[in-house]
Amino acid sequence: MLRFAAVGIDHGHVFDHIKGLLTAGCEFVGYCPETTPPNVLVKLATDYLDVPQADRDAILADPSIDIICIASIPRDRAGLAIRAMRAGKDVMTDKPGVTTVEQLSSVRNTVEATGKIFSICFTERHSVRSAVKAGKLVQQGAIGQVVQTMGMEAHQLQLSARPDWFFDPEYFGGIIVDIASHQIDQFLFYTGSETADVIASTVGNFAMPDKPKFEDYADVLLRSETASGFARVDWFTPDGLGTWGDGRLTILGTKGYIELRKYIDISGRPGKDHLFLVNDAGSTYIDCSGEKLEYFQAFANDVRDRTATAMTQAHVYEVCRLSLEAQAKAVRIGNQQGKIGND
């Protein structure tokens, strides 16, 4: 049985990693309690009473541990991943896996030197059942050749729950690196593109002039040899929605389209994971709440078999590269203090 531990629990996505790997038959054997939001530690200790806390150096030095899960402050994830891989562990990290070009280069060099897996859990695809179903429909040819994706990920700010680092791009890499990396991953995956170009990108601070470095809006336009992609991310979801965000994705094909309402259907259907398929056969609504999440089992299989079925390293690197490039090239609009990118 594969054994895993968590090192870095600064984001709630660590629970996706833990639940997913447990479902895949792995054993959760420990976690480092260092964290910036205390509520994450409280929930972890409550939900997993029998799992011991341990010093992170001891966890990394334990030869019986196969996998390290990382959801630390984004700036620290690459460094922890490199330490883990050098210690003989495969890594599952939260997005963004890296926040600088230098970190990406170091991660690549470490993977090449150690032969270990550096995988990023893009929860907007890997932990969303409607996104899994959409992938199957695309592979089955339900909408023909995919020519464009349009992703919109609106988030609730929830100010009272945010640690100080949340507002400083030095710590999270900027809104495109942090959030739009999800949409870049989805563009490459659903269009079958191995690489792409950043055509344009924008970041903005519209609602938080008191935190001038923070970015509460961004958009990105991508293009590959076969498809185009647009993504918009923001922190403007109103409290009245009833959930933390209204994530949507439209996948346009030559013979139809798919639309996902990932977390809520504002027209009234209960629950989440709503999928709408439109093609020559008609318009179909699919409740995807029973769809099986596949990434975690595939990752566990890759660790055991030394394969790359969950995600190739090339895909991981390209999502990181495009995210970093789009962030660096972004034109800033809105409140102009702390301006970055092009003038």
Using pLDDT thresholds of 50, 70 and 90, give the confidence band for residue 336.
Answer: low
pLDDT at residue 268, rounded to an integer? 78
For residue 338, pLDDT over 70 is answered with no
- Over range 130-136, report the average pLDDT: 98
Q: Which range is least confidently modeled, 21-30, 250-259, 330-339? A: 330-339
- Over range 183-206, report the average pLDDT: 98
Cβ-proximal residues to 73 (8 Å cutoff; 6+ apart), any chain: 8, 10, 36, 165, 171, 172
For residue 262, pLDDT over 60 is answered with yes
pLDDT in tens, 36-82: 999 999 999 999 999 999 999 999 999 999 999 999 999 999 999 99
pLDDT at residue 159, rounded to an integer? 83
Going 316 to 322 to 327 to 333, the CA torsion angle's sign is negative
For residue 27, pLDDT over 90 is answered with yes
Beta carbons of 258 and 276 less than 8 angstroms apart: yes
Using pLDDT thresholds of 50, 70 and 90, give the confidence band for residue 256.
Answer: very high
Full set of structural domains in the chain with CATH: 3-121 (3.40.50.720), 125-293+326-334 (3.30.360.10)
- Global model pTM greater than 0.85: yes
Q: Which residues pair with 120 in a beta bridge?
A: 93
